[in-house]
Amino acid sequence: MLLIHCPYCKESRDQSEFSPAGEAFIARPESPEGISDEEWADYVFYRTNHKGNHWEQWVHTNGCRKYFLVERSTISHQILQVAPFGARNSETEL
């Protein structure tokens, strides 16, 4: 059971208040009709399933209902940092 800090509520709350919402920084292609089936499938289906520090989306379902970003170690489940949505758009950008 994780203890998650909501960057909007600014409080650490039990995981049961939140729902996971998949890998972060998966942008919807701007013109879906202009790309190949493979590229579209990559967006819809394929995820990195990264071992190590991983950016993902969580939503404070039973709280403020906001989606936000979480960097979590998939090995130790330690949460390294959280950020409001839009604070960054990729793993490297600050």
Sites of contact with another protein (CB under 8 A): 1-3, 14, 19, 21, 27-28, 31-33, 37, 40-41, 43-45, 57, 59, 61, 65-67, 75-79, 85-86
Within the chain, where are the H helices? Answer: 37-44
Residue (50 or 78) nearer to another protein, CB: 78
Residue (29 or 50) nearer to another protein, CB: 29
Coil, strand or helix: which one is 16? helix
Residue (36 or 92) nearer to another protein, CB: 36
Show Cβ contacts of residue 91 under 8 Å, excluding neighbours closer than 6 positions: 25, 55
Identify the H or E element spanning 85: none
